[in-house]
Chain A
Amino acid sequence: MTLDQFVQQFAEQFDETPANQFTPATDYKSLEEWGSLTTLGVITMVDAEMGKRITGSNLLACTTIEELYNFIQRV
């Protein structure tokens, strides 16, 4: 999955935040909709679409979507 596709998939886990607000540099934890449901959405998306297991702590440790993408490449 490319970085652009990842950003798009990431955005799809949000129901209220418009997709155009998501870029590789987005600090996702500062988004109003960030919470347990979106955390769960991202974790299960990464599992289903990328075959990688990440945890809530991993999500807390990264800041931008690009940083998370790079982290997942190393898992």
Chain B
Amino acid sequence: MKSRFSLEGKTLLVTGASSGIGRCVAVECAKMGARLVINGRNQERLNQTLSMLEGTGHQAIAADLSDHEAVSAMVDQLPQLDGVSHNAGVTSIGMIKFIKADDWQALSQNNVFSAIWLTRCLVAKKKLNKPASVVFTSSISGNDSVRHGEALYAATKSALSGFAKAAALDLAPQGIRVNCVHPGMIETELFHSSQDALTQDLDEMKKLFPLKRFGNPEDVADGIIYLLSDTSSWVTGTELKIDGGYTLI
């Protein structure tokens, strides 16, 4: 029997696919039958992901999504899409008194404007089918909880989730659903670089999770697949926390 979460026949764009969560989303969506266009900046790691995808007809387009002209050019090359999983994002940790004037510009360009402009171009250039599903990988940070040093990052992620809700409302008449996933701590490159900056004792930290472990990229990919699949066809504007219960306590 075909899975209720099947993505067969769907063409999807997955950003942030050269690493971590985005790479895992691409691999898992291909397993569920989707044809993929994957994006990242690093061509070599993007090609690695391409070689990991089951099935045929997949395509990789390297582009820096913080550059609006590059986004427009990428969207021109895209086929018609049934869904988007936007994972591109960078982290930033620091104390408020050391924020530099251009830090916000750089981070928000990467984490918020990339999503806004990508959505804008997809809609304006009519690249999204009816129905279509757009899923943004936001974060619990800034939306459900924060940790020390996350001020700028949290601000970008709450802006992203705010944009997603507004987009869900505005695009509903066109049959486009827009949702977010809010992951907690997921073991990826980004996670390990930020943990090194904080020197957290990882075993101690795990105890802060009611489910007693950090997340893995598959945990997030499964939530994204639900939101991309027709199983969630009556779900829009929602925020799916995937955090092992971290924000319950």
Does B102 reach chain A (CB closer than 8 Å)? no
Does B148 reach chain A (CB closer than 8 Å)? yes
Does A21 reach chain B (CB closer than 8 Å)? no
Tell me the bound Cα distance from A31 to B94 in angstroms.
21
Does A25 reach chain B (CB closer than 8 Å)? no
Does B199 reach chain A (CB closer than 8 Å)? yes
Tell me the bound Cα distance from A59 to B199 in angstroms.
9
CB-defined contacts of A48 to chain B, threshold 8 Å: 98, 100
CB-defined contacts of A47 to chain B, threshold 8 Å: 94, 98
Do A39 and B94 touch across chains, with their CB atoms under 8 A apart?
A: no
CB-defined contacts of B196 to chain A, threshold 8 Å: 55-57
For chain B, the count of residues having a C-beta within 8 Å of the partner chain is 13
Does B105 reach chain A (CB closer than 8 Å)? no
Q: How many A-B residue pairs have CB under 8 A?
A: 43
For chain A, the count of residues having a C-beta within 8 Å of the partner chain is 16
Q: Encode contact with B along A26-62: 1 for CB under 8 Å, 0 otherwise.
A: 0000000000110111011101100000011101100
Does B95 reach chain A (CB closer than 8 Å)? yes
Do A56 and B148 touch across chains, with their CB atoms under 8 A apart?
A: no
- Secondary structure at the B interface, as helix, strand, loop or mixed, is loop
CB-defined contacts of A55 to chain B, threshold 8 Å: 196-197, 199
Does B198 reach chain A (CB closer than 8 Å)? yes
Does B93 reach chain A (CB closer than 8 Å)? yes
Q: Encode contact with A along B45-87: 1 for CB under 8 Å, 0 otherwise.
A: 0000000000000000000000000000000000000000000
Shortest distance in angstroms between A39's beta carbon and chain B's nearest beta carbon?
6
Shortest distance in angstroms between A68's beta carbon and chain B's nearest beta carbon?
13
Do A40 and B100 touch across chains, with their CB atoms under 8 A apart?
A: no
Tell me the bound Cα distance from A45 to B93 in angstroms.
12
Q: Encode contact with A along B87-106: 1 for CB under 8 Å, 0 otherwise.
A: 00000011100101000000
Do B98 and A57 touch across chains, with their CB atoms under 8 A apart?
A: no
Q: Encode contact with A along B142-153: 1 for CB under 8 Å, 0 otherwise.
A: 000000110000
**Which of B93, B94, B98, B149 has the largest number of chain A CB atoms within 10 A?**
B98
Closest to A49 in B: B98
- List 15 A–B pairs whose Cβ atoms lie within 8 Å, in order of A's numbering: A36-B148, A37-B148, A37-B149, A39-B198, A40-B95, A40-B148, A41-B95, A43-B197, A44-B94, A45-B95, A47-B94, A48-B98, A48-B100, A55-B196, A56-B198
| A contact residues vs B (CB 8 Å cutoff) | 13, 36-37, 39-41, 43-45, 47-48, 55-57, 59-60
